[in-house]
């Protein structure tokens, strides 16, 4: 530093120095900004994942609850029996002539006013292309053609082996796609970018074509059409969502009934018969194994090839062979069927093992020995409940079997065929469809999903060596980049539904394999809107969505939260520290989220670092409820369980009429809530049932009832869409997308 001399040389040096310093400053600041964005992005991702998996756990609990009912009650009157059998067993139409008759399409006439695509059979490539074009223009395929395609698809699939073997010698390049989940835009984009299927262009779609997105049936039609047109080049694997029970919860059933009001039931029934015939896996050049979920340490390809896959209608429910004993859960079976009071719901996938760092912990199995004790206790309380319910609705008295196991002789359940497969075989398939890879060595039950396993790198290695494979391709998990390698690049996850959680949440990807079997990945994001957004705007948008979902969950647990907060506020001051807030929230929600990191977004008004929790809960409520502002804990409980409710409704509504009887609802809700430890009085249930029986005819219209909750969500979504549109047209970056 000179002492005031101002030679040009010196001046330049000073200037250069300051330019350097200025640049460093700006770069420092910018990198911090990016880091904070990155943190927000990660948190947003974990929010979505935890909520998604928590929902899946609910589903499993629900089914376990129903299975328990099936196993433990002897219906003693015809009414009861038909009620139970309608709910819990499936009428299999095994015989072809019967099914042909029920799902007959030839008698369905296509009216002149129909503007959608016309198909003739056998299908030609032009038909398949026409389908794609028609769906792009939002046309709907007529039910007759849908059923026809399903019939043809089934006939074709029946000829395929359980494990499809392909060769790159036949068609030089094979493109493998992952989950699509009803997102037609992504499928259209893949065909646009990669080309339509043809004899020179092979495709493998690795399951989960349906559910969640709104165009599941259209995707199925396109996929089946190409499969029929190019049978040697176009291949499908079954996913865990190709399953009517999963469809009940995750939207496909609803979509079909909504789009096909007259013939929807037929289509749904037919779909069951098609899904079960989908191949379980694909093998390329004998070197690359493609399954939807993954593998387990018990995966046995020989067994998989031999079993009768079409007998497994659903991997969510194990239907026994009549002469076999009741299912005995082995050490590593799926999560305990009964939600024990003392045990919390497994937390998010970010926390795989309950003891951090421990590698061999297997979670639920230690409870198995106590099962009998627990089931005795449970049975007693349920018996009392049931008796009350049956009495209220006028059923005659009934008895509960004292002995376990119970299994109704076939003759009593006439139209129901309970033919199934061995437990071992069923488990092989469940593992293939539901498992996830994990970084730790070993293999343990997948408690997050409730089915399948977590498999470690050693399991992969064993599998590869045993069958001389090079690597595995699987799907089943959403990844931010649309794909992810793990297990030393021996396992590739490929996920093709972009923007899965929200617009901008993730990319989709597909992988191409040539003769050299080296994977080439192509990524995309099928929504033009995201391209005009900066990273900040994209992250903000997705984050908004995640936070909204999280606030909803918080609201849904308001009473428990209040209780937890109070336990930290022993002096009754109405204030708790922010640290206690974090602890309390985790103890109630069990989502395993980084609450302290998320806190600034969820708690905005604090005094002296303390939170007035009652007003915070009030604010949550105001946000969540419609203008009617009904404040009742009952509503909160319903809201929290609305997915479960909807699933229950749809199961009860076995003829898919959209209506269930008042009494049916009451009984089931009562049983369900007592098992899920929801504290609800008898009176409230009756009141509730009465109030949702809107026209007092003894029937509840499912859709009307759920509409009330949907309206709240819908108005949020509309607002957000509007905001996005506004931000696109005006170039100025919007502070409206900033964090609160």
Partner 1 sequence: MADDKDSGEMRLQEIQKKIKDAFEVFDHESNDTVDVREIGTIIRSLGCCPSEGELHDLIAEDLLSQVSSRMVEEEEPTGYIRLEKFLPMMVKVLLERRYRPIPEDLLLQAFEVLDSAKEGFLTKEELVKYMTEEGEPFTQEEMEEMLSAALDPETNTIQYRDYLAMMVIDEN
578 or 678: whose CB is closer to partner 1? 578
Alpha carbon separation from 405 to 270, 332, 372, 408, 520 (Å, rounded)? 33, 21, 11, 10, 53
80 or 484: whose CB is closer to partner 1? 484
CB of residue 211 vs partner 1: minimum separation in angstroms?
A: 27
Residues 6 or more apart from 152 whose CB is under 8 A from it?
121, 122, 123, 224, 228
CB of residue 22 vs partner 1: minimum separation in angstroms?
A: 4
285 class by beta-carbon count within 10 Å (0-12 exposed, 13-18 middle, 19+ buried): middle
Token code pair at residue 561? 């939260």
CB of residue 11 vs partner 1: minimum separation in angstroms?
A: 13
CB of residue 574 vs partner 1: minimum separation in angstroms?
A: 18
Whose tokens are 């979504």? That residue is: 717
33 or 170: whose CB is closer to partner 1? 33
35 or 630: whose CB is closer to partner 1? 35
603 or 680: whose CB is closer to partner 1? 603
Cβ-contact 634, 688 below 8 angstroms: yes
Pairing of strands 519-524, 659-661: unpaired
Cβ-contact 453, 476 below 8 angstroms: no
Q: Please write down the long-range contacts of 85-93, taking CB distance under 8 Å and 24 or more positions apart.
A: 85/413, 85/416, 86/652, 86/654, 87/651, 87/652, 87/654, 89/413, 89/416, 89/418, 90/272, 90/313, 90/319, 90/416, 91/415, 91/416, 91/417, 92/313, 92/416, 92/417, 92/419, 93/269, 93/273
**Other Cβ atoms closer than 10 A to 423:** 18
Omega of the bond prior to 405 within 30 degrees of 0, cis? yes
Neighbour order of strands in the sheet with 163-166: 163-166, 281-284, 288-290, 471-474, 491-494, 483-486
Token code pair at residue 721? 């869409």
378 or 486: whose CB is closer to partner 1? 486
CB of residue 131 vs partner 1: minimum separation in angstroms?
A: 38
Output DSSP code: residue 350.
T
DSSP β-bridge partners for residue 443: 455
36 or 520: whose CB is closer to partner 1? 36
28 or 388: whose CB is closer to partner 1? 28
CA-CA distance, 132 to 221, in Å (whole number)?
Answer: 9
Cβ-contact 228, 123 below 8 angstroms: yes
241 is catalytic: yes
Beta strands in 585-628 (DSSP E): 610-612
Cβ-contact 298, 480 below 8 angstroms: no
CB of residue 506 vs partner 1: minimum separation in angstroms?
A: 17
CB of residue 30 vs partner 1: minimum separation in angstroms?
A: 6
**Other Cβ atoms closer than 10 A to 430:** 24
For residues 492, 496, 499, 501, the Cα torsion angle rounded to the nearest 10 degrees is -70
Using alpha carbons, select from 234, 307, 259 the residue that is nearest to residue 138: 259
CA-CA distance, 286 to 702, in Å (whole number)?
Answer: 49
118 or 536: whose CB is closer to partner 1? 536
253 or 348: whose CB is closer to partner 1? 348
Token code pair at residue 350? 């970010």
Summarize as ranges the residues that interact with partner 1 (CB under 8 A): 18-36, 38-39, 42-43, 46, 350-353, 356-357, 439-440, 534-536, 577-579, 582, 594-597, 731, 733, 735, 738-739
CB of residue 26 vs partner 1: minimum separation in angstroms?
A: 5
CB of residue 583 vs partner 1: minimum separation in angstroms?
A: 9
CB of residue 480 vs partner 1: minimum separation in angstroms?
A: 13
DSSP β-bridge partners for residue 288: 284, 471
287 class by beta-carbon count within 10 Å (0-12 exposed, 13-18 middle, 19+ buried): middle
Q: Which of 127, 241, 487, 675 is the catalytic position?
A: 241
Cβ-contact 411, 419 below 8 angstroms: no
The residues annotated as belonging to the active site are 241
């Amino acid at each position: 530093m000179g002492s005031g001399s101002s030679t040009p040389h010196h001046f330049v040096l000073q200037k250069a120095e300051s330019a350097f310093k200025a640049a460093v400053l700006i770069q420092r600041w910018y990198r911090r900004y990016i880091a904070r964005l990155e943190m927000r992005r990660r948190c947003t991702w974990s929010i979505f994942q935890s909520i998604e998996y928590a929902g899946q756990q609910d589903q499993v609990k629900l089914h376990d609850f129903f299975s328990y009912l099936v196993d433990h009650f002897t219906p003693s009157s015809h009414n009861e029996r038909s009620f139970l059998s309608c709910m819990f067993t499936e009428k299999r139409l095994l015989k072809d002539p019967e099914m042909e008759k029920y799902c007959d399409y030839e008698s369905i006439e296509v009216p002149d006013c129909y503007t959608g695509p016309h198909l003739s059979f056998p299908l030609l490539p032009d038909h398949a292309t026409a389908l794609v074009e028609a769906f792009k223009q939002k046309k709907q395929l007529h039910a007759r053609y849908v059923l026809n395609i399903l019939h043809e698809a089934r006939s074709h699939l029946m000829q395929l082996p359980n494990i499809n073997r392909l060769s790159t010698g036949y068609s030089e390049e094979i493109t493998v796609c992952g989950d699509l989940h009803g997102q037609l835009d992504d499928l259209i984009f893949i065909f646009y970018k990669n080309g339509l299927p043809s004899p020179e262009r092979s495709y493998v779609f690795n399951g989960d074509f349906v559910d969640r997105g709104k165009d599941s049936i259209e995707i199925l039609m396109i996929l089946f059409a190409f499969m029929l047109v190019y049978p040697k080049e176009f291949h499908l694997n079954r996913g865990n969502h190709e399953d009517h029970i999963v469809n009940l919860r995750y939207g496909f059933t609803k979509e079909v009934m909504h789009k096909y009001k007259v013939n929807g039931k037929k289509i749904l029934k037919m779909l069951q018969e098609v899904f079960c015939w989908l191949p379980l896996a694909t093998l390329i050049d004998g070197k690359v194994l493609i399954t939807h979920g993954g593998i387990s340490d018990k995966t046995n390809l020989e067994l998989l090839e031999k079993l009768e896959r079409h007998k497994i209608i659903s991997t969510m429910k194990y239907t026994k062979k009549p002469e076999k004993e009741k299912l005995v859960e082995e050490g590593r079976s799926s999560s305990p069927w009964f939600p024990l009071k003392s045990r919390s719901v497994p937390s998010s996938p970010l926390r795989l093992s309950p003891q951090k760092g421990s590698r061999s912990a297997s979670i639920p199995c230690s409870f198995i020995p106590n099962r009998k004790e627990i089931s005795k206790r449970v049975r007693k309380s349920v018996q009392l409940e049931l008796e009350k319910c049956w009495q209220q609705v006028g059923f005659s008295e009934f008895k509960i079997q004292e002995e376990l196991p119970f299994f109704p002789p076939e003759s009593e359940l006439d139209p129901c065929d309970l033919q199934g497969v061995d437990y071992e075989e069923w488990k092989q398939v469940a593992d293939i469809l539901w498992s996830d890879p994990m970084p730790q060595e070993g293999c343990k039950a997948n408690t997050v999903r409730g089915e399948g396993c977590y498999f470690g790198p050693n399991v992969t290695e064993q599998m590869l060596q045993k069958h001389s494979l090079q690597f595995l391709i699987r799907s089943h998990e959403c990844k931010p980049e649309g794909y992810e390698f793990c297990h030393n690049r021996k396992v590739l996850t490929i996920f093709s539904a972009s923007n899965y959680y929200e617009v901008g949440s993730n990319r989709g990807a597909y992988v191409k394999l040539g003769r050299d079997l080296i994977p080439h990945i192509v990524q995309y994001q099928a929504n033009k809107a995201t391209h005009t957004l900066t990273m900040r705007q994209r992250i903000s948008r997705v984050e908004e969505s995640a936070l909204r979902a999280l606030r909803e969950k918080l609201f849904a647990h308001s009473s428990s939260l209040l209780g937890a907060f109070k336990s930290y506020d022993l002096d009754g001051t109405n204030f708790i520290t922010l640290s206690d807030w974090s602890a309390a929230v985790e103890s109630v929600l069990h989502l395993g989220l980084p609450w302290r990191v998320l806190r600034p977004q969820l708690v905005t008004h604090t005094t002296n670092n303390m939170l007035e929790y009652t007003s915070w809960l009030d604010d949550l409520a105001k946000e969540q409820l419609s203008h009617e502002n009904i404040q009742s804990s009952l509503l909160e409980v319903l809201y929290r369980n609305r997915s479960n409710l909807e699933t229950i409704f749809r199961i009860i509504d076995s003829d898919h009429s959209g209506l269930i009887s008042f009494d049916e609802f009451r009984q089931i809700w009562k049983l369900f809530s007592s098992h899920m430890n929801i504290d609800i009085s008898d009176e409230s249930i009756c009141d509730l049932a009465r109030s949702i029986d809107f026209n007092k005819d003894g029937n509840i219209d499912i859709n009307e009832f759920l509409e009330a909750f949907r309206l709240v969500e819908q108005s949020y979504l509309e607002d957000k869409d509007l905001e996005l549109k506004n931000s696109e047209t005006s170039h100025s970056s919007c502070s409206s997308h900033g964090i609160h």
